[in-house]
Structure 1
Amino acid sequence: MQARMKNPVLVLPETLQALLAVSNSIKDRGLSENTMDLVHLRVSQINGCSVCTDMGFRKLQKAGETMERIVGVSAWREMPYFSDAERAALALGEAVTRLADRPDAVTDEIWNEAIRHYDEKALSALIVAIAIDNVWNRLNSTVRQPAGASWN
């Protein structure tokens, strides 16, 4: 696959800087980077973003994550490899990503499980991370950015 055009954030470098600033603003807010990376991978799988799925897989692998957990993200509900807190984050990631699938996509059950595991700052970081993941997925998918290729 060849990209339709240069990635929009390279055409508009101020946008790249803004997105990176948002991503940096949520680090160290009580949510582990590993949890954010697992959610990033799942959100990217749902959206069919090959670039982000590939990057997410590689980042988790480089961080020493087990293959069972990396591969298991796609079926996390049925896999025994995730903590309750990670499951809450993955459920929220799926719900926020699939807003159009049903009315009130982020159900009270999903929300209550998330607030059971995360304080306000960590939950805020998680919500922003999910939103940013969706932005990157949409940018890359729209221009057909190929996985493993440089942005040009």
Structure 2
Amino acid sequence: MNKKLILGSLLAAVALSGCSYPHQEKLTPERLQQHPYELVSIDGAPIASQSSRRPTLEFSEKMHVSGAMCNRFMGQGQLDNDRLFVRQMASTRMLCADSQLNVGDRLIAEMLQNGAKVSLHGKQLILREGEHELVYRAK
């Protein structure tokens, strides 16, 4: 009798522990298109932009991607499972007084061309590629 009680308790604990993690929905273009996003951090460092224009990222219909760091960029995006690709990205080419945004310009271009792993957690959009991470929040 004790063995059945212990086994039943263990099974219940396992079942309940599976419920404690939020179910993550499959990432679709429609989920990305719901909000414009504003950059919060680059590789864990908070954005300290002195300008009133914050770095952004937006997804329009048919996965057209556009945004700005120091420079504006745009291109046709493709979502493949949890990776976002923008293989032919157009961009302005200005040098920015903000060195953090200069790094961000280079990173966003590399990440999107190589295929950034993209995830949504609440209002946060996270792009990862290699050792780099860009964290955005929905406006």
| TM beyond 0.5 | no
Which structure has the bigger radius of gyration? 2
**TM-score, L = length of structure 2:** 0.30
Q: Indicate the structure with greater strand content.
A: 2
RCO higher in structure (CA 8 A, sep ≥6): 1
Q: Indicate the structure with greater helix content.
A: 1
**TM-score, L = length of structure 1:** 0.28
